[in-house]
Amino acid sequence: MVHLIREGFAMISRRSFEKVIAVASSRRQADLCISNAKILDVFNKEWFDGDLLIAEGYIAGFAKMGEGKAKCIVDAQGRYLVPGFIDSHVHIESSYLSPTEFSNLVLPYGTTSVVADPHEICNVCGLDGLRYMLKASEHTPLSVNLMIPSCVPATEFEHAGATLLAKDIKTMFGKDRILGLGEMMNYVGVVHGVPFVLDKIWEAKLANLPIDGHSPVISGSELDAYCASGIRTDHECATPQELKDRIRRGMYVMLRQGSACRNLLALLDGVNRANSQRCLFCTDDRQPKTTLEEGHINNNVRLAVHSGMPAIEALCIASLNSSDCYHMDDRGAIAPGRRADFLLLDDLSTFKPESVYVQGKLVAQGGKILSLSAHVEAKNVSGKMNVKDFSAKRLSLHLSSDNVRVIDIIAGGVVTGKGEAVVKVENGLWVHDPSQDILKIAVVERHHGTGNVGLALLRGYGLKHGSIATSVAHDSHNIIVVGDNDSDMETAVNDLICLGGGMTVVREGKVIDHLALPIAGLMTDLDAFSVSDKLSKLHELAHENLGVSPDIDPYMTLCFMALPVIPDYKVTDMGLFDVSQFKLVDLELPKRH
């Protein structure tokens, strides 16, 4: 019988364990030697010249420059050898790619491990979604480690596809590649001690597992209460002071660089040599186009260094800090006994890996993946479109007052403003006024056939003569649709139902183009290049044919309009939601006299 023990979050056999030690002590020859490299020591924060010895996918030790012996010797030619990068918080679903295609996409940029929160697919499919993400990433070179979503649904003011309680979450603790409890977005529930919220945190604490946070704009005693619960991280800091406030309370702060939310540069003034070990890099929500144009975690590193951060500090944030935070003690450093996940860099400016190794195997070179991961059938997570009694009539917005609340888009982020407006009302119904940049926005419940349609008004989107809809709508991922006329909005919703989910653009009653996302209405097995090309076309159509404001991402902005945990106004299938009051509010305001 082959006995396996857990080494960090990988498994190593006794035979491999003994061989690594034998190679380290020079009693056996290494499998691989990377010779003539400038090796990063993340512990002393310095470079040293030498050869790296690898056995059984693990680092065995070092040899003097040019003196390493192995079955296979690779000359690094003086390149920088650094640990593989770790994305400390990512929603793979937000790439619209299956886990296999996500692996194919990010590995060439040097990301060898991710801490992924399958919050999106679990809000559609429950634990079936979690099991799919585990299965689909089981054999990818990218090490995909999962946090169990804590907020399914995110609030009780929307209908998600599933409900995960503490007893459900507990069943997954201890499973391979399950690291802890995902971002606790219900910060109000934590601060006020809501039992079902604390139940989930308590189970994670009993299992001694890390808990991710999500605490935008809270401070003072509320932040104290949030941290006192044991929540370890936050990726929602917007200012250097917020970063310092959270680090002061023992949290790790993630410097996020996604497609829509980009906080890294704004936070750098708060990072220094004294506190950088409490900082992590993450992407959170990042589309393929952004990654293909800018990179992945190596982009975070590049931006930080170009803004004045010493390269070693940035590289430690990209590797060691995340391994420490999540107790992934088998990676994050070039040291004996750790996984041989590393990169060879030509320079410390572009941070584009020349070679990427995972457990001692070359998986990407010259910016290209060497072997594509095979797809895994999306059982139990496809065809999730249970919409009941929908028609254009359900989009009629009845008003008795022309004075209304409006969701105001704030370009560059997902926070919205609390707007007010006087709108056009005819025969008791809202009527689009072309002189106002105010549109109808609706959320159509798609999980349980409730027939719910939540309506609100959106300002600053810019769309004219058509409709845009998507089934990617954080966090419950119902269908969200915006438009200036009910007919096109109806066509857009029906197109998504036929596709099994995705994104669509409609004008004058016709579907101009769409992208099908059949995996839970969130993802596709198409490759990143195909998805990027399709998204580019959809963006072009949104801006040029429908007039969506050039300052915003048409789809990323739209999908966050249904997120009832980010201030201030949002819309769910139950109606207009005021996040600061944490309750549903009437669309209408008292009539002006």
Residue 68, domain CATH: 2.30.40.10
Q: Are residues 452 and 472 in the same domain?
A: yes
What does the pLDDT read at residue 188? 86
Q: Which residues contact 566 (CB under 8 A, 6 or more apart)?
A: 216, 414, 415, 416, 560, 579
Residue 5 in this model has a pLDDT that exceeds 70: no
Q: Are residues 48 and 98 in the same domain?
A: no
Q: Residue 307: inside a domain, yes or no?
A: yes
What does the pLDDT read at residue 261? 84
Q: Residue 419: inside a domain, yes or no?
A: yes
Q: Residue 205: inside a domain, yes or no?
A: yes
What percent of the chain lies above the pLDDT cut of 90?
91
Listed residues 78, 94, 114: the one ending a domain: 78
The per-residue pLDDT for range 322-376, each reduced to its tens digit, is: 999 999 999 999 999 999 999 999 999 999 999 999 999 999 999 999 999 999 9
Cα 98 to Cα 316: distance, rounded to the nearest angstrom: 29
> Could you tell me the residue range of the domain that residue 547 belongs to?
392-584
Cα 295 to Cα 64: distance, rounded to the nearest angstrom: 33
What does the pLDDT read at residue 322? 98
Cα 421 to Cα 460: distance, rounded to the nearest angstrom: 12
Q: Are residues 277 and 404 in the same domain?
A: no
CATH of the domain at 352: 3.20.20.140
Residue 10 in this model has a pLDDT that exceeds 70: no
Listed residues 54, 78, 102: the one ending a domain: 78
Q: Are residues 9 and 98 in the same domain?
A: no
Residue 2 in this model has a pLDDT that exceeds 60: no
Residue 9 in this model has a pLDDT that exceeds 50: no
What does the pLDDT read at residue 414? 80
Mean pLDDT, rounded, for 248-275: 95
Q: Which two tokens stand for residue 6?
A: 């857990």
Query: Residue by residue, what is the 3-state secondary structure of 246-313?
Result: HHHCCCEEEEEECCCCECHHHHHHHCCCCCHHHEEEECECCCHHHHHHHCCHHHHHHHHHHCCCCHHH
Q: Are residues 236 and 294 in the same domain?
A: yes
Q: How many domains does the chain have?
A: 3
Q: Which residues contact 150 (CB under 8 A, 6 or more apart)?
A: 164, 169, 181, 182, 183, 184, 185, 186, 200, 201, 211, 212
Which single residue is written with the structure tokens 């059982």?
379
Q: Name the least confident of 93-102, 136-145, 441-450, 582-591.
A: 582-591
Q: Residue 380: inside a domain, yes or no?
A: no
Give the pLDDT band of residue 86 (cuts 50, 70, 90): very high
Q: How far apart are the first and last CA of the chain?
A: 84
Beta strands of 445-548 (E only): which ranges? 453-459, 467-470, 479-483, 502-507, 510-516
Q: Are residues 182 and 302 in the same domain?
A: yes
Tell me if 584 sits within 8 A of 576, measured CB to CB: yes
Give the number of other CB atoms < 10 A from CB of residue 431. 12
Tell me if 86 sits within 8 A of 332, measured CB to CB: yes
Residue 307 in this model has a pLDDT that exceeds 70: yes
Q: Which two tokens stand for residue 517?
A: 């996302």
Q: Residue 519: inside a domain, yes or no?
A: yes
Q: Are residues 46 and 113 in the same domain?
A: no
Q: Are residues 95 and 210 in the same domain?
A: yes
Mean pLDDT, rounded, for 51-74: 97
The per-residue pLDDT for range 211-237, each reduced to its tens digit, is: 999 998 899 999 999 999 999 999 999
Q: Are residues 402 and 497 in the same domain?
A: yes
What does the pLDDT read at residue 593? 58
Q: Are residues 93 and 222 in the same domain?
A: yes
Q: Which two tokens stand for residue 132?
A: 């799919």
Please report the DSSP string for 188-223 in residue order.
Answer: HHHHTT-HHHHHHHHHHHHTT--EEE--TT--HHHH
Q: Residue 256: inside a domain, yes or no?
A: yes
Mean pLDDT, rounded, for 26-50: 98
**pTM confidence score:** 0.93
What does the pLDDT read at residue 193? 96
DSSP 8-state symbol, 544: I
Listed residues 78, 95, 118: the one ending a domain: 78
Q: Are residues 403 and 315 in the same domain?
A: no
What does the pLDDT read at residue 3? 43
Q: Residue 378: inside a domain, yes or no?
A: no
Mean pLDDT, rounded, for 177-203: 95
Measuring CA to CA, which residue among 310, 317, 306 is closest to residue 256? 317
What does the pLDDT read at residue 235? 97
Cα 504 to Cα 481: distance, rounded to the nearest angstrom: 9
Mean pLDDT, rounded, for 284-288: 94
What does the pLDDT read at residue 163? 96
Q: Are residues 149 and 233 in the same domain?
A: yes
Cβ burial of 544 (10 Å; 0-12, 13-18, 19+) is exposed
Tell me if 274 sits within 8 A of 299, measured CB to CB: no
Task: Give, in order, the Cα–Cα distances in Å from 271 to each of 297, 298, 552.
Answer: 18, 18, 29
Judge if the upstream peptide bond of residue 475 is cis by omega within 30 degrees of 0. Answer: yes
Give the pLDDT band of residue 591 (cuts 50, 70, 90): confident
Cα 540 to Cα 430: distance, rounded to the nearest angstrom: 29
What does the pLDDT read at residue 566? 83
Residue 1 in this model has a pLDDT that exceeds 60: no
Q: Residue 376: inside a domain, yes or no?
A: no
Cα 255 to Cα 100: distance, rounded to the nearest angstrom: 25
